[in-house]
Amino acid sequence: MLFSSCFKEQKYSEVPEIEFVDFLQIGDSAKISFTFQDGEGDIGLADEQITAPFNPGSKYYYNVYMVYYEKDDVHGWVVGKDINGDSIVFKNRIKPIYSGKPKGLKGKIIATIESIYYNPFSLESDTIKYKIQLIDRAFHASNWVESNEIIR
pLDDT in tens, 109-137: 999 998 899 999 999 999 999 999 999 99
* Angle, CA of 46, 49 and 55, to the nearest 5°: 130
Q: How far is it, in rounded angstroms, from Cα 122 to Cα 55?
A: 32
Domains of the chain and CATH, by start: 11-151 (2.60.40.10)
Rg (CA), the chain: 17
Per-residue pLDDT at 7 exceeds 70: no
Which pLDDT band holds residue 40 (cuts at 50, 70, 90)?
Answer: very high
Report the pLDDT value the prediction gives residue 73, as an integer from 0 to 100: 92
- Of 144, 147, 149, nearest to 64 by C-alpha is 144
* Residue 132 CB-half CA count within 13 A: 28
Q: Read off the pLDDT of residues 56-100 as tens digits, 9 standing for 90 and up.
A: 999 999 999 999 999 999 999 999 999 999 999 999 999 999 888
Per-residue pLDDT at 151 exceeds 80: yes
* pTM (predicted TM-score): 0.91
If one compares 1 and 24, the residue with the highest pLDDT of the two is 24
- Of 110, 89, 93, nearest to 22 by C-alpha is 110
If one compares 62 and 101, the residue with the highest pLDDT of the two is 62
Task: Quote the percentage of the chain above a pLDDT of 70.
Answer: 94
Report the pLDDT value the prediction gives residue 2, as an integer from 0 to 100: 34
Q: How far is it, in rounded angstroms, from Cα 105 to Cα 107?
A: 7
Q: How far is it, in rounded angstroms, from Cα 50 to Cα 102?
A: 22
Report the pLDDT value the prediction gives residue 62, as an integer from 0 to 100: 98
- φ, ψ (nearest 5 deg) of residue 129: -160, 175
Which DSSP helix (H) or strand (E) runs through 111?
strand 105-113
* Residue 16 CB-half CA count within 13 A: 29
